[in-house]
Amino acid sequence: MLAASAGVALARGMGQIDLRVPGSAPSARDGYGTDPDIIRTHAPGDFWPLTLTRAERRAVSALCDVIIPADDRSPSASALHVPDFIDEWISAPYAGHGADRTLVNAGLAWLDAESRRRYGSAFARATDAQRLELCEAMAPEAPPKSELELPSKFFRRVRNLTMVGFFTTPAGMKDLGYVGNVPLARFEGPPADLIARLGLADEVAW
């Protein structure tokens, strides 16, 4: 994702952000170690240093709540600690996470600078309507080499991470209607109308 945009700066009402130099890459203490104890509750930063600043976390929280706000079915993304998940994700010392860290750091810098240019305040302090307006500007896939190419990539990556973080929580799975791995008294197989639509009648037999 980031390779295609290397060397391109985000410059709209702010100083240039050079994406050719990735953010400092954290390393796991004493290597990756053994598998974590999944019975114990772990605190953020138990496995590696987290890299988002306080200002960046405020912006991420506000952005997550534009993507998945609270409604009558479930809490907001930030209420389910999705920003913690995103911070852990981009801070992880695994292959591929460094590109996400660079993209998210640069995108957050653009987000706050653009919010200040448009509205006179950082993104986290903007009104709900202003945040939504700015997200709607980033949401479409922008043409290559356009001024919104990198903000668009940033928004779509954070949107995907927000969805992953949200819908893997108990509240998010309940919102989807996913019941998980539970015993059934009887399994009737896939719905017949679905099998017919997919043209799999000859392959599926019960």
What is residue 12's predicted lDDT score, i.e. its pLDDT?
39
Minimum mean pLDDT range among 16-25, 42-51, 78-87: 16-25
Number of residues written out for the chain: 206
- Using one digit for the tens of pLDDT, what is the confidence trace for 5-43? 333 333 333 334 444 334 445 555 545 556 667 788 888
Which amino acid is residue 29, in one-letter code?
A: R
Q: Is the pLDDT of residue 198 over 80?
A: yes
DSSP state of 117: H
The tokens for 54 are 């306080």
Minimum mean pLDDT range among 32-36, 61-65, 144-148: 32-36
What is residue 22's predicted lDDT score, i.e. its pLDDT?
44
What is residue 38's predicted lDDT score, i.e. its pLDDT?
73
Q: Is the pLDDT of residue 141 over 80?
A: yes
More confident residue, 9 or 145: 145
What is residue 149's predicted lDDT score, i.e. its pLDDT?
94
Which amino acid is residue 30, in one-letter code?
A: D
Do 64 and 82 touch, CB atoms closer than 8 A?
yes
Q: How many CB atoms lie within 10 A of CB 199?
A: 8
- Using one digit for the tens of pLDDT, what is the confidence trace for 94-135? 888 999 999 999 999 999 999 999 999 999 999 999 999 999
pTM: 0.73
Q: Comparing C-alpha atoms, which of 10, 5, 1, 9 is closest to residue 113?
A: 10
DSSP state of 42: P
Which amino acid is residue 78, in one-letter code?
A: S
Q: How many CB atoms lie within 10 A of CB 41?
A: 7
- Using one digit for the tens of pLDDT, what is the confidence trace for 157-194? 999 999 999 999 999 999 988 877 888 788 778 888 88
Q: Comparing C-alpha atoms, which of 77, 95, 90 is closest to residue 44?
A: 90
What is residue 51's predicted lDDT score, i.e. its pLDDT?
92
Average pLDDT estimate for 61-89? 96
